[in-house]
Amino acid sequence: TRIIPIEGAETGASATDSFEAAATEDSLLLGHDTQVDPSPGRYSSSSDDAWEEEALSSSTKPRDFSWLPFALAGLLIAAWTGFFAWAVVLNQREPTSPDQWVWWIAQWSGPALLVMIVLLLAMRTSRREANRFADVALSLSRESSQLEKRLVSINTELSLARDFIAAQGRDLETLGRVAVDRISSSATRLDELVGRNGTQVDRIAEVSSAALDNMEKLRGQLPVIANAAKDVTNNIGNAGRTAHLQLEELVSGFQRLNEFGLASERQVSSVRERVESSIAAFSKASEDLAALAEERFRELARSSAEQAGLMQESEQAALAAWHQRSEAHVTALREALARLAADHEALLAQSSGQLGRFEEA
């Protein structure tokens, strides 16, 4: 929807009047009974009927004789050319010169041009040409009315756009004033912040100078810290080597204990073989010396029990000795690890103390 101002309505009225005048002129140009409706932009039904009747009559014509004027003009020009050639050119006995040909062409072209002019006038004054001009005038009047309507709508839109631009200009002016006020207040606040930042920059400069001094002190104390770290690493290496030697001794002790167990096992097997051989010998002589065999068997049983007890006691003593040595090695390793942990904690405490003193400085 568009809002059309009063000026646009008046312009539309004037456009309607001009369209009625153009329609009246078109009716005069048509040359037949065509009535124009006084309403703007519309013809009466009689004009439509006339156009339809003319279209029907033109469509019901059996033949189109529009070629007759052209044929008649061509025939006249051909007849004139033949007559001119027979009467003028063929009677010439002497050789012709170029000026003679020019004179002949001038004499021949006059009647030919006259025929063409008459043909053109006949075509221009015919009813078909009048109808064509009437159609052109009608289409021009319609286009002019449409153009006038478009101009009215464009004028309306331009007025609305002008009002809108004026409102936008007022809004922009208001926004500009508000923006200027905000910018001025922001500039004042920025000036205050710049002053505060100046003091903070001075403080930062002082802190940076103090940090630079602390870094110089730390650079001077770095060799001491490096030497202490080297000492700690050397102590850790020595403790590791000592622990490695003790572990090797523990492994050798385990190996000796294993060898002693194998020797005792071999001794038990040899004693068992001897007992078995003795039992075999006693079994052979058991028929004759049953009582003696029983007594000796008892003695052998007693001696074997004593031997087994001795072997068990020796094995328990060896295991106890091995446990004691293992506990001694474990205790030594724990003490070495405790010393390493104490040295490491002391080094960490010393480093943290130095860092604390450095931070305090």
- Binning pLDDT at 50, 70 and 90, where does residue 154 land? very high
Question: What is the reported pLDDT for 166?
Answer: 92
Count other Cβ atoms within 10 Å, centred on residue 347. 18
Cα dihedral sign, 55-58-62-64: negative
Q: Which two tokens stand for residue 100?
A: 């003679």
The per-residue pLDDT for 10 is: 42
Residue 162 pLDDT > 80, yes or no?
Answer: yes
Helix (H) or strand (E) holding 90: none
* CA–CA distance, 153 with 139 (Å, rounded to integer): 21
The sign of the CA dihedral 181, 185, 186, 187 is positive
Confidence class for position 156, pLDDT limits 50, 70, 90: very high
Q: Which of 89, 38, 356, 342 is nearest to 221 (CA)?
A: 356
Q: What is the pLDDT of residues 245-267, one digit of tens each?
A: 877 877 777 777 777 767 767 77
CA 173/CA 176 separation, integer angstroms: 5
pLDDT at 171 over 80: yes
Task: Tell me the C-alpha distance between 251 and 187, whole Å.
Answer: 84
- What is the average pLDDT across 152-169? 92
Q: Is the pLDDT of residue 182 over 50?
A: yes
> What is the token pair recorded at 4?
């059309």
pLDDT of residue 15: 42
Residues in the chain: 361
Is pLDDT above 80 for 360?
A: no
Give yes or no for residue 124 having a pLDDT over 60: yes
State CA 16 to chain mean position distance. 59
Among candidate residues 46, 58, 31, 57, the one with its CA nearest the CA of residue 135: 31
In this predicted model, which residue has the larger pLDDT, 26 or 65?
65
At 143 the pLDDT is 92
What one-letter code names the amino acid at 202?
A: D
Dist. CA 234–CA 227, nearest whole Å: 10
Average pLDDT of the residues in 44-57: 49
pLDDT above 80 for 329: no
pLDDT given at position 289: 65
Residue 13, pLDDT > 70, answer no
Q: How much is the pLDDT for 160?
A: 93
Residue 354 has pLDDT above 80, yes or no: no
Asked if residue 91 has pLDDT above 60, the reply is yes
Q: Binning pLDDT at 50, 70 and 90, where does residue 28 land? A: very low
CB 40 within 8 A of CB 146: no
Please, which residues have CB within 8 angstroms of residue 34's CB and are 6 or more apart in sequence?
27, 43, 46, 47, 50
Cα–Cα distance, 327 to 11 (Å, whole number): 123
Could you give the CA distance from residue 254 to residue 330 in angstroms, rounded to a whole number?
Answer: 14
Distance, in Å, from the CA atom of 81 to the CA atom of 77, rounded to the nearest integer, reads 6
pLDDT at 106: 85
pLDDT over 60 at 295, yes or no = yes
Indicate the average pLDDT of the chain: 74
Per mean pLDDT, which range of 73-77, 264-268, 337-341 is the poorest? 264-268
pLDDT above 70 for 34: no
C-alpha of 177 from chain center = 40
The percent of residues in the chain predicted with pLDDT above 70, rounded, is 75
- What per-residue confidence (pLDDT) applies to 285? 58
DSSP code per residue over 311-330: HHHHHHHHHHHHHHHHHHHH
Mean pLDDT of the region 223-234 = 75
